[in-house]
Chain A
Amino acid sequence: MKRLILLPALLLTACSSAPVATPPAAPAGPVTSVKYPADWQNYAYYGQTDRYDFKTIRFLYANPTAMTAKPGAPLPYGSVLVMVDRKAKLDEKGNIVRDKNGRFVPTDEIFRISVQEKQQGFGAAIREDLRNGDWEFAIFETSGAVKKGFKQDACLNCHFSRRDNDFVFLFDRFIARKSKSKRAFVEQVRAAELARR
């Protein structure tokens, strides 16, 4: 009798069109080895990008070690790249306000501070299929605390596509431009900084 009851139950389970729950992916590794770089405001500014999904402007900074990188070569150990997301100015309807060049207009409100750091030994505990060499990542509050619930998985996943460029998206381009026309570029960065103030 017990078998007769169990059989329909088993059949129902097997034929059910409900999605089968997949086990959660194993975490990429430890939360992070990256420490908050409290002196990021002294780093070199190397560009900015408008982030459409978060409605932020991402300001990019590099520490002095990263600034010694050579075009086409991996970044040196000790490199720290910082991405500071400032909230964009919105109109009363919540639409993004743009400047005359079509760029988002930043407010003073910092949304988050993302850091990518390369150190010997970093990455050793990261899952091999996601490992970004000796880089690790973190996202911080302005207080310097790691964002609640932060996991490196999303950062590792995205930067993994740049494995041929030492896992960076824009810094390699910056270094290439810098080496081409160092003097002209410094003037350009200064002008961009002045315009931003």
Chain B
Amino acid sequence: MRNRVLLSCFAALAFPALASAADIVIEMPGINFTQKKIVAKVGDTLKFKNSSGYNHNVYVPEEEIGANMGDMQPGSEWALPLYKPGKYELLCGYHKNMKMTLEVKK
């Protein structure tokens, strides 16, 4: 028991981001994101839910993340784990006015 407690304490100290990692849900109910700006932490995961009737293509152009979800069909869900702090843009490849900003803190 004591070992388990010690191990948990060690894990929390060694990996603070993982210890408090959160899932942040971003819905796409139409040709838009539900949020305009998100502040997250390293270790958090963005969960995209395409609840619209349209296909979307979320991508992050900045090289530090450099992610392209590809063709996101209606009803599909995608996860983007955050590893690097910084300020980023989230865009849709299909809809040029669909965008939001993301700030990832340490």
Binding site for B on A (CB under 8 A): 47-54, 58, 98, 100-103, 157-158, 161-162, 164, 169-170, 173
Per the bound structure, the CA–CA distance linking A103 and B83 in Å amounts to 9
Per the bound structure, the CA–CA distance linking A103 and B84 in Å amounts to 10
Residues of B within 8 A of A53 (CB): 69-72
What's the tally of chain B residues with a CB closer than 8 Å to chain A? 24
Tell me how far the C-beta of A35 lies from the nearest C-beta in chain B, rounded to whole angstroms: 26
Is the C-beta of B96 less than 8 angstroms from some C-beta in chain A? yes
Residues B95 and A161 in contact, CB atoms below 8 Å apart: yes
| Chain B residue with the shortest CB-CB distance to A172 | B61
Per the bound structure, the CA–CA distance linking A98 and B65 in Å amounts to 12
Residues A52 and B67 in contact, CB atoms below 8 Å apart: yes
Residues of A within 8 A of B59 (CB): 49, 169
Per the bound structure, the CA–CA distance linking A164 and B91 in Å amounts to 15
Residues of A within 8 A of B71 (CB): 53
Is the C-beta of B52 less than 8 angstroms from some C-beta in chain A? no
Residues of A within 8 A of B88 (CB): none
Set B57, B67, B72, B93: member contacting A50, Cβ < 8 A:
B67
Residues of A within 8 A of B57 (CB): 158
Set B61, B63, B65, B82: member contacting A169, Cβ < 8 A:
B61
Residues B68 and A102 in contact, CB atoms below 8 Å apart: no
Tell me how far the C-beta of A184 lies from the nearest C-beta in chain B, rounded to whole angstroms: 13
